[in-house]
């Protein structure tokens, strides 16, 4: 049976001392029966790799280059991430789409680069508040998903995870309602079913202001396979409660 996946996204937070404390606390309370991971900033991959070695907490990164090597100053390739035991990489987070101008097609190429390196891309999709209020949610998601299918073949789509993260719910304290989330997750599942044989095996996560008290209801939705957790992943007790809710 597919286990749920809960991934913490530290974003640009942390330092060596705090990371060590946080990771030790998380490792002490990690539940079984759920797959958990944390996506740390690049400079802390080596530290996290050594603290997580031999544990069940997976290591992730927050982005990668679409290229495998060469003259791309400041970029980090999938192979470099794999070299630090990274298993997951977030691609297309709405902060990068908005602040770094990452387009749908670049996100798709990054997902492909991750797969080439043997990583699992967590592909973020989601609408803004203006798009939702204009009744455009499904069109936006369709566009973001279709861009993936332009670059990834069916086998590759079967190896990604999709994270539905409504932009208006990220870091705002305002999680989407369970009805809103399930409606989108089933839309994504139907999109997957049109492209891959075992669409039920592809994990679909929800992200956006998930807290310990909302996690159980969100993860219990028929098409929810776990969550992507920002702010709440920076505090071990909260993050652990959220992981527990996915067991």
Window contacting ligand PEP (CB under 6 A); options: 72-80, 152-160, 227-235, 236-244: 227-235
Window contacting ligand PEP (CB under 6 A); options: 106-114, 142-150, 180-188, 205-213: 205-213
CA distance 27 to 57: 7
**Between 182 and 196, CB nearer to ligand PEP:** 182
**Between 184 and 196, CB nearer to ligand PEP:** 184
- Enumerate residues 39-78 that contact ligand PEP by CB under 6 A: none
Nearest 5 degrees, angle CA 211-CA 107-CA 121? 55
Find the shortest distance in angstroms from Cβ 181 to ligand PEP. 12
**Between 202 and 229, CB nearer to ligand PEP:** 229
Query: Who contacts 223 (Cβ-Cβ below 8 Å, separation ≥6)?
Result: 182, 185, 186, 188, 189, 204
Q: Is 66 tagged catalytic?
A: no
Residues in the chain: 247
Residue of 165, 223, 225, 244 interacting with ligand PEP (CB under 6 A): 165
Residue of 229, 240, 242, 243 interacting with ligand PEP (CB under 6 A): 229
Residue of 14, 58, 207, 226 interacting with ligand PEP (CB under 6 A): 207
Find the shortest distance in angstroms from Cβ 45 to ligand PEP. 18
Q: Are 34 and 246 in contact (CB under 8 A)?
A: yes
Sign (positive/negative) of CA torsion 178, 184, 190, 195?
negative
DSSP 2: P
DSSP string, 41-52: -GGGHHHHHHHH
- In 62-199, DSSP assigns E strands to 88-91, 120-125, 161-164
Q: Are 184 and 137 in contact (CB under 8 A)?
A: yes
Residues that bind ligand PEP (CB under 6 A): 9, 165, 170-171, 207-210, 228-232
Catalytic residues: 93, 165
Binding residues for substrate: 9-11, 171, 209, 230-231
């Amino acid at each position: 049976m597919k286990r749920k996946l809960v991934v913490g996204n530290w974003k640009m937070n942390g330092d060596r001392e705090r990371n060590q404390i946080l990771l030790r606390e998380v490792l002490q309370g990690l539940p079984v029966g759920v797959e958990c991971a944390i996506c740390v900033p690049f400079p802390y991959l080596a530290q996290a790799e050594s603290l997580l070695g031999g544990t069940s907490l997976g290591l992730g990164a927050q982005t990668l280059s679409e290229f495998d090597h060469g003259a791309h100053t400041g970029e980090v390739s999938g192979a470099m991430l794999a070299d630090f035991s990274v298993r997951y990489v977030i691609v297309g987070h709405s902060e990068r789409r908005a602040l770094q101008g990452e387009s749908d097609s670049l996100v798709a190429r990054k997902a492909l680069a991750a797969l080439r390196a043997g990583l699992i891309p967590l592909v973020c999709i989601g609408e803004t508040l203006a798009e939702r209020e204009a009744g455009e949610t499904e069109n936006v998601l369709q566009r973001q998903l279709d861009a993936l299918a332009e670059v990834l073949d069916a086998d590759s789509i079967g190896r990604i995870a999709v994270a539905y993260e409504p932009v208006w719910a990220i870091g705002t304290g305002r999680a989407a309602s369970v009805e809103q989330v399930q409606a989108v997750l089933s839309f994504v599942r139907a999109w997957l079913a049109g492209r891959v044989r075992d669409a039920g095996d592809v994990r679909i996560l929800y992200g956006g202001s998930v807290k310990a008290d909302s996690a159980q209801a969100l993860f219990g939705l028929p098409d929810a396979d776990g969550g992507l957790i920002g702010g709440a992943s920076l505090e071990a007790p909260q993050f652990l409660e959220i992981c527990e809710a996915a067991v």
